Structure 1
């Protein structure tokens, strides 16, 4: 029996749901009768039209909220707004991630490094997630099984790094893994019913991966729908003792 099947009327928060995997989770969970309330965040309204349209069709089950994960004040305000409506969350999936944006591109060598870009990688991919964990804590302090999952990347595995390059992305995802491992230890004391994990989704056909798909074998390039199904399968099969672990899309554990 999965953690979701043990409860009725689960409350969900999808962070970074305007497109890609986050939007895919919203689409998948909306028709699932186990979820009473779904909150979904977006950073910019102009890139969230599909998400907002879903809210128009599925209110009050779906509520969309603006959130820049690099702004702690916004994180606190959004979670306070959620707390004003409900007193517990059962599933939180943080899908926010940065790989490229404008002039910010994965570095192929040391010559391409600059501190501004490195700091931005860490702000989005690492710091935002642990601040989210900080402000989520009150909503996980209940006696029902819950999961806090964050999308990481196999490229953040230090043990698996054989190719080098992509300094900012790799390091920020490695930092994310350490943050969530540490969060899992504290959550075990403060909200022991919550399992904290990081997930590698595989290469998914989204805007994030599109410039880098040329050398990806067709069978290893997943649709958003397939990725969402695979990650939900991992989440639903979690066992006691899995908190603080780093899982691949197929359920195998990845090296740190």
Structure 2
């Protein structure tokens, strides 16, 4: 990656925590900003900060905290599929306005507002990466099963948001990259209710997922900016 400070939004989650730990172990990453909704302990290179995706003031405050040494790798490792009475819909009649509002707030609007505050003054030269965790089910052209309406729609929206970010960043810095990443099915609370049908060799530990995602990030080129990439580096069509 080449001596880039990093920032993880969602550093207390399964994948986010694993990404934070792996980045902190790397000699080429001098600082890792680790954001979560509740307090985390500082350790070595890790500098914790608080944020809430539904509180834009907290995102602005987090960005200001990093202004003196802004990161050149930003990973949004947040996301919601179920919880608080929300479950993936199996039919159209199961849709609710509350589910759409909540999932869009967390999966699409939140990352967009992170970009709003973290990309106020992106570097005009040199490598810079903005990556957000998406999902294969957010692909419109790859949707053959239907269902999971609000979640699919929110991740499709995230893919579009990051595509827009990529276009704008390229006008400022031709070396800048913005992508969405599909981590595969990872053994976390998000996927726990849906793991039964997943083959054992396709259910990844959080650490394995973090390793593969960082390998993809390390290999990114500006020509890939705006795309959605899977954990193995393959392109997921929009």
Unaligned runs of 5+ in 2: none
- The 3-state SS of whatever aligns with 1:150 is strand
Contact 1:89 1:140 in 2 (8 A): no
The residue aligned with 2:63 is 79
The residue aligned with 1:49 is none
- Structure 1 residues 136 and 191: alpha-carbon distance in aligned structure 2, compared to 1, 3 A threshold: farther
Q: CA deviation at 1:19?
A: 2.1
The residue aligned with 1:31 is 25
The residue aligned with 2:52 is 68
Q: Deviations over 1:108-132 (max 9, x none)?
A: 1122111111111001000111111
Q: CA deviation at 1:139?
A: 4.9
User: How many Å separate the matches in 1 of 2:176 and 2:58?
Assistant: 23
Contact 1:107 1:113 in 2 (8 A): yes
User: How many Å separate the matches in 1 of 2:110 and 2:175?
Assistant: 23
When the two structures are superposed, what TM-score results if normalisation uses the length of structure 2?
0.96
Verify: 1:132 aligned to 2:147, yes or no: no
Q: CA deviation at 1:182?
A: 0.8
- The 3-state SS of whatever aligns with 1:241 is helix
Verify: 1:43 aligned to 2:25, yes or no: no
Verify: 1:21 aligned to 2:15, yes or no: yes
- Structure 1 residues 37 and 142: alpha-carbon distance in aligned structure 2, compared to 1, 3 A threshold: farther
Verify: 1:95 aligned to 2:86, yes or no: no
Contact 2:35 2:50 in 1 (8 A): yes
User: How many Å separate the matches in 1 of 2:176 and 2:216?
Assistant: 15
Q: CA deviation at 1:233?
A: 0.9
- The 3-state SS of whatever aligns with 2:177 is strand
Equivalenced residue count is 238
User: How many Å separate the matches in 2 of 1:135 and 1:72?
Assistant: 9
When the two structures are superposed, what TM-score results if normalisation uses the length of structure 1?
0.89
The residue aligned with 2:213 is 231
Deviates more, 1:243-252 or 1:62-71: 62-71
- Structure 1 residues 73 and 191: alpha-carbon distance in aligned structure 2, compared to 1, 3 A threshold: farther
Q: Deviations over 1:144-193 (max 9, x none)?
A: 20111100000000011111110010000000000100111111112333
Instruction: Let me know the Cα RMSD of the aligned residues.
Output: 1.3
Q: CA deviation at 1:63?
A: 1.0
Q: CA deviation at 1:29?
A: 1.1
Contact 2:169 2:176 in 1 (8 A): yes
User: How many Å separate the matches in 2 of 1:123 and 1:138?
Assistant: 21
Compare the two structures and name the one with the higher helix fraction. Answer: 1
- Structure 1 residues 236 and 11: alpha-carbon distance in aligned structure 2, compared to 1, 3 A threshold: same
- In the TM superposition, structure 1's runs of 4+ consecutive aligned residues that sit over 3 Å from their partners are none
Q: CA deviation at 1:232?
A: 0.7
